[in-house]
Chains A and B, each alone.
Chain A
Amino acid sequence: GQNIDQPTEMTATEGAIVQINCTYQTSGFNGLFWYQQHAGEAPTFLSYNVLDGLEEKGRFSSFLSRSKGYSYLLLKELQMKDSASYLCAVRDQANNLFFGTGTRLTVIP
C-alpha cells in the first residue's frame, strides 16, 4: 500500500525560510512531486524529483532521499502569496500517483 505523511499546518513569517517535510512508503518508486494549491483553486505543479538530491527552482527547492523515503520542499524569502496548501505526491512504478493530505502554510507579516 501507499502511505504519505506531511504536517497538517505550518505558520511562518514573511521573508523567512520554511521547510515542509514529506515521508512516504510506497510499493515501488517512480518520482515525487510537489504541488501548490491556493484555496478554492486547482493544484499547480511546483517540482519533481526522481533522483536523490536537491532541485532548485527560484525561491523553491525540493530535496529527495529515496533510501529514507523522505522529501522536503524549501521556500525562501517567503511572500504573503505563498500562503497555500502544499501537496506531496508519489508515483509508483505502475504510474499511479498518490497524494498526501497537504500542508496548509500560513505566511504572517
Chain B
Amino acid sequence: DVKVTQSSRYLVKRTGEKVFLECVQDMDHENMFWYRQDPGLGLRLIYFSYDVKMKEKGDIPEGYSVSREKKERFSLILESASTNQTSMYLCASSLAGGSGLAGNTIYFGEGSWLTVV
C-alpha cells in the first residue's frame, strides 16, 4: 500500500512565524503535491514537484515555498504565516507520466490542520 505521511497533524502558529510542513512517501513516486482545502473552495494546488530539486507553481503559490531535496520528501514552507493561511494542507504523491494509467492515481496523506492566530 502507498503511504504518504505528514509529520504534523495539528499545528497552531502565530502570525509572522515560519512554518514547515513535512511530507514523506514510501512508494518511490516521482510526483509530489501540496494542496490546501477550504470549505466551499475545494482542493487547490499550491506547488508540485516532478523530480528532486524541481518545483512548479500551482494555482495559489503566493505566500508559500517548497523544498524537494530527496525523492521521498516534499516540504511546504510558510515564510511568514498569516491568518488567511489557516487551512487543512494535504500532501499527495503519484507515479510519473500522463499516459492515463490508473497507476498514476494521486494518493493523499492524512492532512495537516494549521491554525494561524
Contacts and interface: CB of A to CB of B under 8 A. Distances in A.
A42 B90 CA distance: 7
Interface string A36-58: 00001111110010100000000
B98 A42 contact: no
The SS class assigned to the A binding surface is: loop
Range, interface on chain B: 20 to 34
B110 interface: yes
A25 interface: no
Interface of A: 30-31, 33, 40-45, 48, 50, 87, 89, 91, 93-97, 99-102
B108 A44 contact: yes
- Which 8 pairs, one residue from A and one from B, show the smallest C-beta to C-beta distance? A95-B98, A101-B42, A42-B108, A99-B43, A48-B102, A50-B100, A31-B100, A42-B111
B7 interface: no
A30 B98 contact: yes
B97 interface: yes
Contacts of B97: 95
Contacts of B33: 97
Contacts of B108: 42-44
